[in-house]
Structure 1
């Protein structure tokens, strides 16, 4: 995208955010709980802290894993209130899919920038305004310096920042456990076989949710039922005695 176009995009967004701040109150909520006791009890803040950067990657490059990671992020935002800025290079999001986990189209501002450098610029600009419920950015890879800037912007405004790296996950969650990141948490989401059928031929989707880094806490992993129409996850009834329902650390403590 030419520099003049980038500048125009940012100017337009600033004007839009100014209107949001004038017309709405800044959010007081500091934590978004998962409403799954095993997860909330495991996280140091009792939920996902706002005013912080969190990374959410797919467990692999297959479409079902990428979709699971995207819907995991959308479900988090569905459990908050207020507008959401979603930054990406091109139009490749399926809005009905986001609505299916509770993130309705009228809450989402799409910023299609044409290149990843502008995604970072627009995401950082959005995080500097307190009138948003959250800011999402999709990247091939998030450089450490850029991640630090996003973390600082989120801390300053109190807005939730979700970074969705694409095409780099692969392998096992512990493969990236030692990588340095300023993010408060790092997650890896993968699709699992669905549970028992709730209607003929169809069961609720399941995800393997791995918390691979957690500032001030330990990593863990769960098998969960995918987000419902209100963005809520659930522990499968038949998994309560399995590893996925446990909160014992499976990777090294991450700071």
Structure 2
């Protein structure tokens, strides 16, 4: 038992050195991502880390903004503000209400150049008063991403980098890399209108975790897991990740 405990403590220490912060029981937040959360180390969504999202087109950009807004609704449920920085903002602020967050709890900064976006994001990540920071940009180097990761390791602020049509995805010092695609929504039986937002969520990379593909829906103020239909191509792909 003592040997197992030492191994566990060593793993914890290694993960801390790699930038993974594990909140105490009383400070863990219910992201409600269902089976997706098993992909993360210890089955806990990495807070106090940098998450990278890649969108190849405008449709994916809109879907990714919605998914990020859902994550922010959890991060901001106990108060705090979010800094949203871009040089070509793609977000429609009133749309945040659909995901349970009020636009007046966001500080929007529209910079002229991407280097200004990076500088502002880094300064925001050093501010412990913020709940989260979102940076919309295209290109970023490993060295630049490393500076952002070092910032969150001291402040424990969670950061999101949303990259639009990057020329080179490369390798960054981020805890995760995501690709989000919209899915056809489904209305409740017998009820006309548009259904709830749905996404195909691909966790391309996750440090010390297990990548995979899932389907999620935003319904009644929370994420809801949607199982793949049996025998579908996505189901088979998910099995290959397991």
Q: How far did 1:64 drift?
A: 2.5
Partner of 2:208: 216
By how many angstroms is 1:190 displaced? 0.6
Residue 225 (structure 2) pairs with residue 235 (structure 1): yes
1:1-255 matched pairs, under 5 angstroms: 32-58=29-55, 60-61=56-57, 63-81=58-76, 82-168=80-166, 179-197=170-188, 199-225=191-217, 227-228=218-219, 230=221, 232-236=222-226, 239=228, 241=230, 243=234, 248=239, 250=241
Deviation, structure 1 residue 246: 9.0
CA distance, structure 1, for counterparts of residue 143 and residue 220 of structure 2:
36
What is residue 22 of structure 1 aligned with on the other side? none
C-alpha distance in 2 between matches for 1:84 and 1:244: 35
Separation in structure 1 between the aligned mates of residue 175 and residue 215 of structure 2, nearest angstrom: 22
Q: Is the 8 A contact 1:89 1:112 kept in 2?
A: yes
Runs of 4+ in 1 over 3 A off after TM superposition: 27-33, 238-249
Deviates more, 1:79-88 or 1:198-207: 198-207
Which region of structure 1 is more displaced relative to structure 2, 195-204 or 95-104?
195-204
8 Å contact from structure 1 (residues 223, 245) kept in 2: no
Quote how far apart the aligned CAs of 1:250 are. Answer: 2.7
Cα displacement (A) at 1:221: 0.2
Please tell me whether the aligned partners of residues 138 and 163 of structure 1 are also in contact (alpha carbons under 8 angstroms). Answer: yes
Q: Is the 8 A contact 2:84 2:107 kept in 1?
A: yes
- Say whether the 8 Å CA contact 1:65–1:189 is kept in structure 2: yes
After TM superposition, the score normalised by the length of structure 2 is 0.78
Name the counterpart of 1:4.
none
SS of residue paired to 1:162? strand
SS where residue 200 of structure 1 aligns?
A: coil
What's the CA shift string for 1:64-87, capped at 9, x where partnerless?
211111111111111122100001
TM-aligned CA distance change 1:195 to 1:139, over 3 Å: same
RMSD: 2.7
1:193 CA displacement: 1.9
1:196 Cα deviation (Å)? 4.6
Whether the 8 Å CA contact 1:32–1:50 is kept in 2: the answer is: no
SS, match of residue 114 in structure 1: coil
